[in-house]
Chains A and B, each alone.
Chain A
C-alpha cells in the first residue's frame, strides 16, 4: 500500500484498502474557519438538531482567519457565530480573535491595518496554525472545510478539503465516506540550489502534469530529496497538491517530522501519541516521476491558472505593479527570511505587501536578529508594507477593505500565494503571477519579473 492507502486503511479499521475502494473513514480532527464554519454549523444543527453535540469536542478545531480585519459587518458576525457555537459545545480548540468569550468582534478601521488588533488566542491562517498549535500528527486523518487542508500532508497524514455538508456530517458522526484515491508518486532527488525554493518544486510538478493532472488522486512526495527539505518546505509543496486537482499530498515520516510534531504537541498540550505510516515496497502507483531538485530553476505560474509555468528568466522584464508575500503557502517564517535575504539593504520599486500567516510568525520575525536589525526591520527598511494582523488577507481578495487587495482593474501582481484564477486577489480584471518568496522579492526590487539569483551572487 501507498502512504495514503495505509492511513485510510487504518482509519477505516481494515487490514488493507486499494485505490477505488469506497470506505467509511474515522476522522481524527475536523477543522473549520470563519468562511465555511457558520454554514457547517448551520448544516449540523439542521440535520442533527439544535441541541445536538459534536462527535468529539476535542476533535473539532475552529480557526477564524479569512475575513477578520475588515469592517464588513457580516464577516464580523460570522466570527461571533463561531464563538457562540464553541461556547455551547465546550470546544477546547477555538482560536478566537478576541479574548472575551462573551464578547463580539468588531474590527476598528480607525486603528489602521498595520498594528495588531487581535487577542491572545488568535492563531492566524488555519493551515499554518494547525501544525503550530499541535493539531497535525503522523498517521492521522484531518478533514477541513478548506481546499488547502492538504498542506498537513507534510506531516505524514491524510488531509483533505471538504464542503460544508460533508463537514456537518463529520461534525455529527466523526466519519466520512471516501473513495481511496490512486497515488501519483514524485520521487525527489538531490538538493535545492540557492535561490530555488520549495515553491519552485510544486510549480514545476504542476507545470509537468497540468493543473488538473492529479484530479481525484493522491500526490506522494518521497525519495532521498525529502531529507533536505524543512517542514516549512514540505508544507509548501503539500499545500499546492490541490492546485493540480489532487485530493491530498503526502510525505513520508522522518526525524524532522517527529521533532516538529513532538515539540508543538508538548508546547500546546495537544495529544502527543501518534503512529506514522510507511509505504510498502510493493506499493502500486498510477504514475511515477523523478524530480531532480538540483536542476530546478526559479519559476513563475502566469495568469490565469497555476499550471502556466515559465522560468523567471524567460519572463524577465515583464513589468509588474505590485508584489505580495503571505498566505499559508508563502507566509511562513522561512518565507520571510528568504525574502529578507534578497531585499536586505535594498529598496522595493513597486507596492509590496507582506502578511505573515500567524501571530507566532510575526513574533519570530520581530525577535530574530540579522546583524543589528530584526527580519521585520529589514523588510520594513526595504519598503515592504508589513502588517501584524496575520491572516488570509488579500490571498483570496475578500471584502473590499482587505489589506493588500487589488481593487483596481489592470494591475499585475507577483505573489507568493497559491492561486491566480481571474479575480483571485480582487478585481476580476487584475492578474496574479505565482512565484517563490525569493522570486517575489527580486521582482519587487526590479519592478519586473526577476530571477532571484541576480541578487544573491
Chain B
C-alpha cells in the first residue's frame, strides 16, 4: 500500500462543499460504470468559482489532475452525501486530502470507497502554501514536509480508518477481517 505521496499541491480554502467538488449536473454519471467513473474525474473540483481559483484542478480536456495532493482549510466536503465527490477526486488521481477538518459523510465516504486518504492537519497550511508548491506526505510518520522550506507539519493519525483504506475500502476490509463472509462476485 502506498504510504508516501510526493508532488504538487492544489490549495483550496474553508467550506469546500460537495457541489464544488463535483457539481450536481454531473451526478447523472454512475460511478460503478467504468467509463463514467473516468468522466467524473475530469470534472473534479470544477465547481470552484473561477475568480477565486483561476487554475483548474483538472485542465480542460484532461481526465486526470497534475496535483496528487489537495490542501484545504476547515470543513472540507460539507454538504451532500454524494459518493461521487471522493470518487471524482480519486478518479482524477488525488491520493490524499490534507484538511484542517472534514465533514462527516465525506470523510466516511473516503474510507468506504478507499479512494483517498483524508488526513487532518495540525496547522493552517492552506494559508501558507499555494497551488503548485511541492510537499511529501508520509502516512506512517504522520507528517507532511514542505519541499521549499523543509518545514515538517504533523498530521493527526488516521488511526482505525487507515487499514480500511489500505485494504481498498469497506468491502475489502470487511472480508479481510472476517466481518462479512459473502464472497466477492467472481467476474
Contacts and interface: CB of A to CB of B under 8 A. Distances in A.
A227 interface: no
Contacts of B109: 163, 165-166
Interface string B66-85: 00000000110011111110
A396 B30 CA distance: 18
Given A215-B104, A397-B25, A424 B19 contact: yes
Contacts of A145: 81
Interface string A26-61: 000000000110110111011111101000000000
Contacts of A400: 25
Interface stretch (B1-9, B130-138, B168-176): B168-176
Q: Tell me the dominant secondary structure on chain A's binding face.
A: loop
Interface in B15-33: 15, 17, 19-20, 23-25, 27-33
B24 A161 contact: no
B49 interface: yes
Nearest to B185: A49
Interface in A418-440: 419, 421-424, 428-429
A55 to B, nearest CB: 11
A147 interface: yes
A397 B80 CA distance: 13
B156 to A, nearest CB: 14
A428 B50 CA distance: 9
A165 B113 contact: yes
Contacts of A398: 24-25
Contacts of B30: 38-39, 42, 78, 81
Given A48-B182, A397-B19, A39 B83 contact: yes
Contact of A215 (B47, B83, B103, B112): B103
Interface string B46-78: 011111000000000000000000000011001
A26 to B, nearest CB: 15
Given A35-B27, A165-B170, A421-B15, 7 more contacts: A41-B32, A47-B182, A74-B28, A169-B171, A304-B15, A421-B20, A428-B50
10 closest A-B pairs (Cβ-Cβ)?
A42-B32, A163-B83, A165-B112, A161-B81, A163-B109, A74-B28, A421-B17, A147-B81, A49-B185, A164-B83
Interface of A: 35-36, 38-39, 41-43, 45-50, 52, 66-67, 72, 74-75, 78, 81, 145-147, 149, 161-166, 168-169, 172-173, 211-212, 215-216, 245, 247, 304-305, 396-400, 419, 421-424, 428-429
